Amino acid sequence: MNLNNTDYFSCTFETGESNAINKDFFKERDFLGGWTVSDRNPLIGLKRHASREILPQNKIIDISIEDLKNILEGTIKKNATDKNIIFLSGGKDSSTLAYIFKRLNIPFKAISLYSNVSQTTEYNIVQQLEKKLEIDVNYYKIDTIPKIDFPYWIENPFTAKRLAVKELSLADHRIFTGEIGTGEMQVNQSLQYTAMLGYRPKDLARWHVNVCGSYRRINSVNEIHDDPIYFECIEHFESRFAEWGRHPDILNRVMFSRLQDEGAYRLFNYGLDDLEWVHPYAESDFISACVNMPSEYKGKKNLYREMYPEMTDLAWRYPKSGLGIPTM
Protein backbone atom coordinates (compact mmCIF):
# COMPACT_ATOMS: atom_id res chain seq x y z
CA MET A 1 0.00 0.00 0.00
CA ASN A 2 1.07 3.59 -0.63
CA LEU A 3 1.04 5.45 2.68
CA ASN A 4 1.69 9.08 1.81
CA ASN A 5 -0.39 11.62 -0.10
CA THR A 6 0.14 11.00 -3.82
CA ASP A 7 -3.18 12.35 -5.11
CA TYR A 8 -1.80 13.62 -8.43
CA PHE A 9 -1.00 10.02 -9.34
CA SER A 10 -4.05 8.19 -8.02
CA CYS A 11 -5.49 5.45 -10.19
CA THR A 12 -8.16 2.82 -9.62
CA PHE A 13 -9.66 0.11 -11.79
CA GLU A 14 -13.28 -0.86 -11.29
CA THR A 15 -13.95 -4.44 -10.29
CA GLY A 16 -17.19 -6.28 -10.82
CA GLU A 17 -19.03 -8.92 -12.76
CA SER A 18 -17.71 -9.27 -16.29
CA ASN A 19 -16.42 -12.26 -18.18
CA ALA A 20 -15.59 -10.38 -21.36
CA ILE A 21 -11.92 -9.57 -21.88
CA ASN A 22 -11.25 -6.11 -23.28
CA LYS A 23 -8.64 -6.77 -25.97
CA ASP A 24 -8.30 -3.05 -26.67
CA PHE A 25 -6.97 -2.51 -23.13
CA PHE A 26 -4.11 -4.91 -23.78
CA LYS A 27 -3.40 -3.42 -27.20
CA GLU A 28 -3.17 0.04 -25.61
CA ARG A 29 -0.91 -1.38 -22.90
CA ASP A 30 1.43 -2.69 -25.59
CA PHE A 31 1.53 0.70 -27.34
CA LEU A 32 2.72 2.36 -24.11
CA GLY A 33 5.13 -0.28 -22.83
CA GLY A 34 3.08 -1.72 -19.98
CA TRP A 35 0.57 0.96 -19.02
CA THR A 36 -2.42 2.88 -20.37
CA VAL A 37 -3.85 6.40 -20.45
CA SER A 38 -7.50 5.87 -21.39
CA ASP A 39 -10.36 4.80 -19.10
CA ARG A 40 -10.23 1.26 -20.49
CA ASN A 41 -10.37 -1.65 -18.07
CA PRO A 42 -9.12 -5.20 -18.77
CA LEU A 43 -12.79 -6.24 -18.59
CA ILE A 44 -15.49 -4.88 -20.88
CA GLY A 45 -18.10 -2.83 -19.06
CA LEU A 46 -15.72 -1.62 -16.37
CA LYS A 47 -13.51 1.48 -16.32
CA ARG A 48 -10.26 2.93 -15.03
CA HIS A 49 -10.38 6.15 -13.02
CA ALA A 50 -7.39 8.51 -13.15
CA SER A 51 -6.65 11.41 -10.84
CA ARG A 52 -8.74 14.52 -11.43
CA GLU A 53 -6.15 16.74 -9.74
CA ILE A 54 -4.58 19.28 -12.10
CA LEU A 55 -0.82 19.47 -11.66
CA PRO A 56 0.15 22.55 -13.77
CA GLN A 57 -0.64 25.91 -12.22
CA ASN A 58 -1.30 29.09 -14.17
CA LYS A 59 1.71 30.80 -12.63
CA ILE A 60 5.29 30.04 -11.73
CA ILE A 61 5.52 29.09 -8.05
CA ASP A 62 7.85 31.25 -6.00
CA ILE A 63 8.95 28.85 -3.26
CA SER A 64 12.27 29.00 -1.49
CA ILE A 65 14.70 26.10 -1.55
CA GLU A 66 14.47 25.98 2.24
CA ASP A 67 10.68 25.63 2.13
CA LEU A 68 10.97 22.90 -0.50
CA LYS A 69 13.44 21.06 1.72
CA ASN A 70 11.10 21.38 4.69
CA ILE A 71 8.22 19.82 2.75
CA LEU A 72 10.37 16.85 1.77
CA GLU A 73 11.85 16.31 5.21
CA GLY A 74 8.42 16.73 6.80
CA THR A 75 7.03 13.87 4.71
CA ILE A 76 9.95 11.65 5.68
CA LYS A 77 9.65 12.45 9.41
CA LYS A 78 5.89 11.88 9.34
CA ASN A 79 6.14 8.44 7.75
CA ALA A 80 9.41 7.03 9.11
CA THR A 81 9.41 4.41 11.87
CA ASP A 82 12.25 2.73 13.71
CA LYS A 83 12.36 0.15 10.90
CA ASN A 84 12.88 1.67 7.46
CA ILE A 85 14.28 0.55 4.10
CA ILE A 86 15.74 2.56 1.24
CA PHE A 87 16.51 0.92 -2.11
CA LEU A 88 19.85 2.44 -3.03
CA SER A 89 20.42 2.27 -6.79
CA GLY A 90 23.30 4.72 -7.06
CA GLY A 91 21.10 7.25 -8.82
CA LYS A 92 20.32 10.79 -7.74
CA ASP A 93 16.91 10.10 -6.20
CA SER A 94 17.84 7.25 -3.88
CA SER A 95 21.26 8.73 -3.02
CA THR A 96 19.61 11.97 -1.92
CA LEU A 97 17.01 10.05 0.08
CA ALA A 98 19.72 8.12 1.92
CA TYR A 99 21.59 11.34 2.63
CA ILE A 100 18.46 12.94 4.12
CA PHE A 101 17.85 9.95 6.40
CA LYS A 102 21.43 10.19 7.63
CA ARG A 103 21.11 13.95 8.11
CA LEU A 104 17.92 13.51 10.15
CA ASN A 105 19.37 10.59 12.16
CA ILE A 106 16.53 8.30 11.06
CA PRO A 107 17.53 4.61 11.10
CA PHE A 108 17.29 2.68 7.84
CA LYS A 109 18.54 -0.40 6.06
CA ALA A 110 19.93 0.24 2.59
CA ILE A 111 19.29 -2.45 -0.02
CA SER A 112 20.99 -2.45 -3.40
CA LEU A 113 19.96 -4.80 -6.20
CA TYR A 114 22.70 -6.06 -8.49
CA SER A 115 23.21 -8.75 -11.10
CA ASN A 116 26.07 -10.83 -12.41
CA VAL A 117 24.49 -11.15 -15.85
CA SER A 118 23.73 -7.50 -16.57
CA GLN A 119 26.07 -5.65 -18.94
CA THR A 120 25.55 -2.47 -16.91
CA THR A 121 25.72 -1.98 -13.17
CA GLU A 122 25.83 0.70 -10.47
CA TYR A 123 27.39 -1.76 -8.01
CA ASN A 124 30.68 0.17 -7.78
CA ILE A 125 28.89 3.49 -7.41
CA VAL A 126 26.83 2.13 -4.52
CA GLN A 127 30.00 0.84 -2.88
CA GLN A 128 31.46 4.35 -3.07
CA LEU A 129 28.25 5.82 -1.64
CA GLU A 130 28.38 3.29 1.17
CA LYS A 131 31.75 4.72 2.22
CA LYS A 132 30.80 8.36 1.65
CA LEU A 133 27.58 8.10 3.66
CA GLU A 134 29.12 5.73 6.23
CA ILE A 135 26.29 3.22 5.99
CA ASP A 136 26.02 -0.55 5.61
CA VAL A 137 24.40 -1.72 2.38
CA ASN A 138 22.67 -5.08 1.91
CA TYR A 139 23.58 -6.22 -1.62
CA TYR A 140 20.87 -8.46 -3.05
CA LYS A 141 21.82 -10.42 -6.17
CA ILE A 142 19.07 -11.01 -8.68
CA ASP A 143 19.83 -12.31 -12.18
CA THR A 144 16.26 -12.74 -13.41
CA ILE A 145 12.95 -11.19 -12.45
CA PRO A 146 10.16 -13.75 -12.02
CA LYS A 147 7.42 -13.24 -14.58
CA ILE A 148 4.23 -11.97 -12.98
CA ASP A 149 0.85 -12.01 -14.70
CA PHE A 150 -0.01 -8.39 -13.91
CA PRO A 151 -3.79 -7.93 -14.25
CA TYR A 152 -3.47 -4.22 -15.01
CA TRP A 153 -0.11 -2.48 -15.55
CA ILE A 154 3.27 -4.20 -15.88
CA GLU A 155 6.03 -2.97 -13.54
CA ASN A 156 8.93 -5.41 -13.24
CA PRO A 157 11.24 -3.25 -11.04
CA PHE A 158 8.53 -3.33 -8.36
CA THR A 159 8.61 -7.13 -8.53
CA ALA A 160 12.37 -7.19 -7.92
CA LYS A 161 12.12 -4.87 -4.92
CA ARG A 162 9.28 -6.84 -3.36
CA LEU A 163 11.16 -10.10 -3.84
CA ALA A 164 14.23 -8.67 -2.09
CA VAL A 165 12.20 -7.45 0.89
CA LYS A 166 10.48 -10.81 1.30
CA GLU A 167 13.62 -12.93 0.93
CA LEU A 168 15.61 -10.72 3.32
CA SER A 169 12.80 -11.14 5.91
CA LEU A 170 12.23 -7.39 6.11
CA ALA A 171 8.48 -7.30 5.47
CA ASP A 172 7.94 -5.63 8.85
CA HIS A 173 9.87 -2.56 7.65
CA ARG A 174 8.51 0.58 6.00
CA ILE A 175 9.96 0.99 2.51
CA PHE A 176 10.95 4.37 1.09
CA THR A 177 11.42 4.71 -2.67
CA GLY A 178 12.86 7.39 -4.92
CA GLU A 179 9.93 7.06 -7.31
CA ILE A 180 9.42 9.93 -9.73
CA GLY A 181 12.13 12.05 -8.09
CA THR A 182 11.59 15.75 -8.84
CA GLY A 183 9.49 14.76 -11.85
CA GLU A 184 12.35 14.90 -14.34
CA MET A 185 11.90 11.51 -15.97
CA GLN A 186 13.70 11.27 -19.28
CA VAL A 187 13.56 14.98 -20.11
CA ASN A 188 16.87 15.48 -21.92
CA GLN A 189 15.65 14.38 -25.36
CA SER A 190 12.53 16.55 -25.27
CA LEU A 191 14.51 19.56 -24.04
CA GLN A 192 17.12 19.10 -26.79
CA TYR A 193 14.40 18.79 -29.43
CA THR A 194 12.73 21.98 -28.19
CA ALA A 195 16.05 23.84 -28.12
CA MET A 196 16.69 22.93 -31.76
CA LEU A 197 13.21 23.30 -33.28
CA GLY A 198 11.11 25.28 -30.82
CA TYR A 199 8.06 24.26 -28.81
CA ARG A 200 6.19 21.61 -30.82
CA PRO A 201 3.69 19.84 -28.55
CA LYS A 202 2.19 17.68 -31.31
CA ASP A 203 5.65 16.30 -32.15
CA LEU A 204 6.36 15.69 -28.48
CA ALA A 205 3.01 13.92 -28.01
CA ARG A 206 4.01 11.42 -30.71
CA TRP A 207 7.45 11.09 -29.11
CA HIS A 208 5.92 10.25 -25.71
CA VAL A 209 3.98 7.34 -27.18
CA ASN A 210 6.84 6.08 -29.34
CA VAL A 211 9.50 6.22 -26.63
CA CYS A 212 7.30 4.57 -24.00
CA GLY A 213 6.00 1.86 -26.29
CA SER A 214 9.52 0.97 -27.46
CA TYR A 215 10.96 0.82 -23.92
CA ARG A 216 13.10 3.91 -24.63
CA ARG A 217 14.55 2.56 -27.88
CA ILE A 218 12.67 4.68 -30.44
CA ASN A 219 12.97 8.47 -30.16
CA SER A 220 10.94 9.30 -33.26
CA VAL A 221 8.46 12.19 -33.37
CA ASN A 222 6.76 10.65 -36.41
CA GLU A 223 3.71 8.40 -36.58
CA ILE A 224 5.12 4.86 -36.60
CA HIS A 225 1.87 2.85 -36.37
CA ASP A 226 -1.43 2.99 -38.19
CA ASP A 227 -3.90 1.99 -35.52
CA PRO A 228 -6.81 3.91 -33.93
CA ILE A 229 -5.66 3.10 -30.38
CA TYR A 230 -2.14 4.34 -31.15
CA PHE A 231 -3.65 7.63 -32.35
CA GLU A 232 -5.82 7.80 -29.21
CA CYS A 233 -2.65 7.64 -27.10
CA ILE A 234 -1.13 10.51 -29.09
CA GLU A 235 -4.32 12.55 -28.67
CA HIS A 236 -4.18 11.97 -24.92
CA PHE A 237 -0.73 13.54 -24.68
CA GLU A 238 -1.81 16.38 -26.93
CA SER A 239 -4.53 17.04 -24.34
CA ARG A 240 -1.91 16.96 -21.59
CA PHE A 241 0.10 19.61 -23.41
CA ALA A 242 -3.09 21.65 -23.78
CA GLU A 243 -3.64 21.32 -20.03
CA TRP A 244 -0.09 22.53 -19.43
CA GLY A 245 -0.74 25.45 -21.80
CA ARG A 246 -2.00 27.42 -18.81
CA HIS A 247 1.50 27.35 -17.27
CA PRO A 248 3.78 30.22 -18.42
CA ASP A 249 7.13 28.37 -18.34
CA ILE A 250 7.42 26.52 -21.66
CA LEU A 251 10.27 24.28 -20.52
CA ASN A 252 8.19 23.05 -17.61
CA ARG A 253 5.51 22.10 -20.15
CA VAL A 254 8.11 20.16 -22.13
CA MET A 255 9.46 18.32 -19.08
CA PHE A 256 6.28 17.46 -17.21
CA SER A 257 3.39 16.87 -19.62
CA ARG A 258 3.81 13.09 -19.27
CA LEU A 259 4.43 13.13 -15.54
CA GLN A 260 0.95 12.49 -14.15
CA ASP A 261 0.41 9.50 -16.42
CA GLU A 262 3.81 7.87 -16.02
CA GLY A 263 3.88 8.76 -12.32
CA ALA A 264 0.58 6.95 -11.81
CA TYR A 265 2.05 3.95 -13.59
CA ARG A 266 5.22 3.98 -11.51
CA LEU A 267 3.27 4.03 -8.22
CA PHE A 268 0.28 1.87 -9.09
CA ASN A 269 1.45 -1.64 -8.21
CA TYR A 270 2.93 -0.49 -4.90
CA GLY A 271 -0.58 0.60 -3.97
CA LEU A 272 -1.95 -2.92 -4.47
CA ASP A 273 0.76 -4.54 -2.35
CA ASP A 274 0.53 -5.68 1.29
CA LEU A 275 3.88 -4.05 2.17
CA GLU A 276 4.09 -0.44 3.39
CA TRP A 277 5.57 1.89 0.75
CA VAL A 278 6.34 5.61 1.02
CA HIS A 279 7.26 7.81 -1.96
CA PRO A 280 8.42 11.16 -0.47
CA TYR A 281 9.14 12.77 -3.84
CA ALA A 282 5.60 12.00 -5.05
CA GLU A 283 4.05 13.76 -2.04
CA SER A 284 1.50 16.18 -3.48
CA ASP A 285 2.88 19.42 -2.00
CA PHE A 286 6.45 18.55 -2.93
CA ILE A 287 5.90 17.48 -6.54
CA SER A 288 3.51 20.39 -7.22
CA ALA A 289 6.15 22.83 -6.04
CA CYS A 290 8.91 21.12 -8.03
CA VAL A 291 7.17 21.12 -11.39
CA ASN A 292 5.75 24.64 -11.07
CA MET A 293 9.02 26.27 -9.99
CA PRO A 294 11.13 28.11 -12.59
CA SER A 295 12.62 25.65 -15.09
CA GLU A 296 16.11 27.06 -14.53
CA TYR A 297 16.40 24.82 -11.47
CA LYS A 298 15.74 21.67 -13.47
CA GLY A 299 17.07 19.47 -16.24
CA LYS A 300 19.60 17.36 -14.32
CA LYS A 301 17.79 16.97 -11.00
CA ASN A 302 19.76 19.90 -9.65
CA LEU A 303 17.07 20.72 -7.10
CA TYR A 304 18.69 18.12 -4.86
CA ARG A 305 22.00 19.95 -5.13
CA GLU A 306 20.26 23.24 -4.34
CA MET A 307 18.69 21.74 -1.20
CA TYR A 308 21.80 19.88 -0.05
CA PRO A 309 24.91 21.48 -1.58
CA GLU A 310 27.16 19.67 0.89
CA MET A 311 25.97 16.24 -0.32
CA THR A 312 28.36 14.04 -2.32
CA ASP A 313 28.13 14.53 -6.10
CA LEU A 314 28.83 10.86 -6.89
CA ALA A 315 25.39 10.27 -8.41
CA TRP A 316 25.91 13.24 -10.75
CA ARG A 317 29.25 11.96 -12.04
CA TYR A 318 27.94 8.72 -13.56
CA PRO A 319 25.04 8.07 -15.95
CA LYS A 320 22.24 5.90 -14.61
CA SER A 321 22.20 2.51 -16.35
CA GLY A 322 19.53 0.57 -14.45
CA LEU A 323 19.48 -3.05 -13.36
CA GLY A 324 19.29 -4.43 -16.88
CA ILE A 325 18.21 -8.02 -16.20
CA PRO A 326 15.70 -10.19 -18.05
CA THR A 327 12.26 -11.31 -16.91
CA MET A 328 11.87 -15.07 -16.79
Instruction: Please give the full DSSP string across 143-173, using - where no structure is assigned.
Output: SSBPP---SS---HHHHHHHHHHHHTT-TTS
**Is the torsion defined by CA of 233, 237, 242, 243 positive or negative?**
positive
Q: Strand pairing partners for 208?
A: none
In angstroms, the CA 317 to CA 148 distance is 35
Q: Which of 60-69, 118-127, 136-145 shows the lowest mean pLDDT across its residues?
A: 118-127
| Of residues 96 and 317, more confidently modeled | 96
Task: List the one residue out of 211, 212, 208 whose CA is nearest residue 240.
Answer: 208
pLDDT at 120 over 80: no
All domains in the chain, ordered by first residue = 7-59+185-263 (no CATH), 65-183+273-317 (3.40.50.620)
| Of residues 147 and 242, more confidently modeled | 242
Helix, strand, or coil (residue 43): strand
Q: What is the pLDDT of residue 328?
A: 43
pLDDT at 290 over 70: yes
264 pLDDT band, cuts 50/70/90, is very high
Q: What is the pLDDT of residue 146?
A: 78
What is the rounded average pLDDT of the residues 35-51? 97
Rounded percentage of the chain residues whose pLDDT exceeds 90: 83
Q: Per-residue pLDDT tens for 190-206?
A: 999 999 999 999 999 99
